[in-house]
Amino acid sequence: MHPVIASPADVVALKAQGVTFIDIRQREEWKREHIDGARSLPLDDLTAESLQLRADDTVVFYCQSGMRTRNAQEKLIAAAAPANAVIMQGGLGAWKAAGYATQVDKSQPLPLMRQVQIVAGTLVLGGTLAGALLDPLFYIVPGFVGAGLLFAGISGWCGMAKLLNVMPWNRGAS
């Protein structure tokens, strides 16, 4: 069985019929922004038991860009059975681009990986500029950041993410 792939406009029409919206992103992402009425059920926690759907139900799955839902189609279909599964094309980004409203809580911190990207980018840019303008020893900073990112990619362990996770603005977010 293949899921129905629907545009945000098609999904809005379904929303009026009372379908169930499932946001498969991480809970922190959902807390920061989601479609009104959507349930947070991260992909790792998604099972038929967690959904509790009937055969006449329709469930709309979405993520941030549509990539996670596309990659997990088989799992989503299996978890939704016997209900009808709909994958929203383009995810939350397409929903917003089409002009539809979301519930936003700006008090929630940015997702941890975005924080890592901001800090890493700032350190690389700052270290490069300081190396060019002040002292070549500052070139150690972007080299260190690059080595850390390489290690994180190979090992799956990111020291910067671990450090950012214990910062005060991230403590109450989980």
- What pLDDT is attached to residue 172? 64
Same domain, 100 and 124: no
- 124, 92, 130, 80: which is closest to 8 by C-alpha? 92
28-48 pLDDT, tens digit each = 889 989 999 999 999 888 888
Same domain, 116 and 93: no
Last residue of a domain, one of 104, 124, 152: 104
Give the domain extent around 83: 4-104
pLDDT at 15 over 90: no
**What is the count of structural domains for the chain?**
2
Residue-wise pLDDT tens digits, 71-104 = 988 889 888 888 889 999 999 999 999 999 999 8
- Which is the catalytic residue, given 22, 35, 63, 164? 63
3-state secondary structure of 4: strand
Same domain, residue pair 56 and 131:
no
Residue 158 is among the residues annotated as catalytic for this protein? no
pTM comes to 0.71
- Which residue, among 131, 134, 133, has the nearest Cα to 142 in the 3D structure? 131
What CATH number is given to the structural domain containing 37?
A: 3.40.250.10
**3-state secondary structure string across 56-94:** CCEEEEECCCCHHHHHCHHHHHHHHCCCEEEEECCHHHH
> Among the three residues 60, 76, 104, which one is the final residue of a domain in this structure?
104
- The pair of three-digit structure tokens given for residue 169, joined into one six-digit string: 């603005």
Q: What is the pLDDT of residues 96-155, one digit of tens each?
A: 999 999 998 887 888 888 899 999 999 999 999 999 999 999 999 999 999 999 999 999
Classify residue 66 as left (phi > 0), alpha (psi -120 to 50) or beta: left
**DSSP three-state, residue 34:** strand
